[in-house]
Amino acid sequence: MIESVDNSKIKELRKLKDKKYRDSEKLFLVEGEHLVLEAYKANVLKKIVLCNYDMDLDVEKIEVSQKVMATLSELPSKVSVIGVCEIKSNELDLNSNILILDGVQDPGNLGTIIRSSVAFNFKNIILSNNSVDLYNIKVLRASQGMNFHLNIVRCELTNKIKELKDNGYTIYGTDVINGIDVKSVKNDKKYAIIMGNEGNGISKEVKELVDKNVYIKMNDKCESLNVGVSASIILYELNK
Amino acid sequence: MIESVDNSKIKELRKLKDKKYRDSEKLFLVEGEHLVLEAYKANVLKKIVLCNYDMDLDVEKIEVSQKVMATLSELPSKVSVIGVCEIKSNELDLNSNILILDGVQDPGNLGTIIRSSVAFNFKNIILSNNSVDLYNIKVLRASQGMNFHLNIVRCELTNKIKELKDNGYTIYGTDVINGIDVKSVKNDKKYAIIMGNEGNGISKEVKELVDKNVYIKMNDKCESLNVGVSASIILYELNK
């Protein structure tokens, strides 16, 4: 059992709290039994770190003291198992519709959107480079393992959107004022829907590539909805 | 200008970060110009605390140094104005439908639900005693001032629900498995919809008072939606 917080293995794992190291090592951490099992089922689980606990999984096991576990965990409550998972590169399914997130910053919002995407049969998400990291522990917690059911890629948006247009996609923006009520959208073609940043909406360069805007009808006392809510209502409406 | 963080006025204001003091003083704080203006329009603004800033509002003004402001603020970024507001007791409009939140804990979720309630023309919210406090600064920030457009009361749920039933309300629970698709709900009578806690759903005592359950149709890979999202989709669907 590893009892030293300065153990080299533990130090390496602790670095994975930083996006920089996750990107270079192609590894990320998940906390708690539920997410560890989801990672295992998704075939990305490499190792588990255990504290007074066991799980019957065919992967390398590292036993640690409670003190060591506490330095790895980012949850306020005690965690008995942390999974070390491989970042696999995803590919979009270009026969399916796509959700594009342009600068969504809040981890809870991204997690919520991931859950709703699975709920309403959306298979693809594109994250702009300035969106919150998918492997941020709060994003993973809020997405409840649903990220493993989706194709999620991270890239520069303008070129990718041009490529989608060449592939026959209609590009929908979201705009409170101008646009068609999401209830009236007819989906005879493949489409991508863009949701913007919490404070600033869709960026200028991306707006220029939009074919049509959709909106959600609401009382004008309310300026806007939370982005997790508006994305979810749009996916809910478009789900066939 | 107040420069000492130990000034007695400042100490009194700082106590309002705690629910206990907010409840006893019947006062709460809002941060930033937008929320201060919303509080002013709602006729609950008593004083403003300013730091190198001014607002043309007819209320008592307290000028403070940046150091003092920082001890009052709970935001990560610098704030130029904080409003001191009065907690007014609200009354439900018993001719309108009601949203009941049974143990919603996350401040972001409550704020989101408040925004969506205004967007989709719901006027009344009942919070159970174990829900997050409405005057929590994170709740206020996430609700973007929309709380001032609603009747929000906090009370013990079971007696209140019995009272609503006596007043002709139908009580809808939310349940993933049993129930009617929210799309098929006919609203010929007044109704109240109950949303439960993030992890545990609706409590046992409250469940026993439910007349019917509604659900949102979704892919069964997804166990549940974020509670802010499911509340919003239900309000969106029921909005006439």
**Nearest C-alpha of chain B: how many angstroms from A139?**
13
- Long-range CB contacts (< 8 A, 24+ apart) of B75-78? B75/B31, B75/B32, B75/B137, B75/B141
End-to-end CA distance of chain A: 52
**Nearest C-alpha of chain A: how many angstroms from B219?**
5
What Cα–Cα distance (Å) separates residue B99 from each residue in A160, B58, B96, B124, B170?
A: 42, 35, 10, 6, 12
According to the model, what pLDDT value does residue A201 have? Answer: 94
CB B181 within 8 Å of CB B215: yes
Of A108, A119, A229, the CB nearest to B222: A119
Q: Within an 8 Å CB–CB cutoff, is residue B225 touching chain A?
A: yes
State the architecture of B98-238 in CATH terms: 3-Layer(aba) Sandwich (3.40)
According to the model, what pLDDT value does residue A175 have? Answer: 78
Kindly report, as residue ranges, where domains of CATH 3.30.1330.30 are found in chain B: 8-86
Q: Within an 8 Å CB–CB cutoff, is residue A141 touching chain B?
A: no
- For the beta carbon of residue B65, count every other beta carbon within 10 angstroms: 14
Mean pLDDT by groups of 10 residues along chain B of 240 residues: 96 97 97 96 97 96 97 91 95 96 97 97 97 96 96 98 97 85 87 95 96 94 94 93
End-to-end CA distance of chain B: 52
Interior/surface letters A50-70, b for 16+ CB within 10 angstroms, e for the rest: bbeeebebeeeebbbeeebbe
Say whether A221 and B108 touch across the interface (CB within 8 A): no
Say whether B229 and A115 touch across the interface (CB within 8 A): yes
**Nearest C-alpha of chain B: how many angstroms from A115?**
6
Measured between beta carbons, the chain B residues lying within 8 angstroms of A222 are 115, 118-119, 146
Nearest to A199 by CA among A55, A129, A103: A103
According to the model, what pLDDT value does residue A77 have? Answer: 85
Q: How far apart are CA A138 and CA A144, in angstroms?
A: 10
**Nearest C-alpha of chain A: how many angstroms from B141?**
12
| DSSP per-residue letters across B11-69 | HHHHHTTSHHHHHHHTEEEEESHHHHHHHHHTT-EEEEEESS-----SSEEEEB-HHHH
Kindly report, as residue ranges, where domains of CATH 3.40.1280.10 are found in chain A: 98-238
Say whether B142 and A226 touch across the interface (CB within 8 A): yes
Low-confidence ranges of chain A (pLDDT < 50): none
Q: Within an 8 Å CB–CB cutoff, is residue A120 touching chain B?
A: yes
HSE (CB half, 13 Å, CA atoms) of A228?
30
* Count of A-B CB contacts under 8 Å: 84
**Nearest C-alpha of chain A: how many angstroms from B79?**
17
Q: How far apart are CA A57 and CA A54, in angstroms?
A: 9
Q: In this predicted model, what pLDDT tens digit does every residue of A142-156 receive, in sequence order?
A: 999 999 999 999 999
Q: Within an 8 Å CB–CB cutoff, is residue A4 touching chain B?
A: no
Compare all CA atoms of chain B with the CA of A231 and give the residue at the minimum distance.
B229
Say whether B218 and A119 touch across the interface (CB within 8 A): yes
According to the model, what pLDDT value does residue B176 have? Answer: 66
Three-state DSSP class for B232?
Answer: helix
Q: Within an 8 Å CB–CB cutoff, is residue B216 touching chain A?
A: yes
Six-digit token pair at B55? 């607002």
Task: Provide the mean pLDDT of chain A.
Answer: 95
- For the beta carbon of residue A12, count every other beta carbon within 10 angstroms: 13
Measured between beta carbons, the chain B residues lying within 8 angstroms of A41 are none
Q: Within an 8 Å CB–CB cutoff, is residue A146 touching chain B?
A: yes
- Tell me, yes or no, if the pTM score tops 0.90: yes
Measured between beta carbons, the chain A residues lying within 8 angstroms of B216 are 119, 236
Three-state DSSP class for B200?
Answer: coil
Q: Within an 8 Å CB–CB cutoff, is residue B155 touching chain A?
A: no
HSE (CB half, 13 Å, CA atoms) of A68?
23
Name the DSSP class of A201: B
The domain A8-86: what is its CATH number?
3.30.1330.30
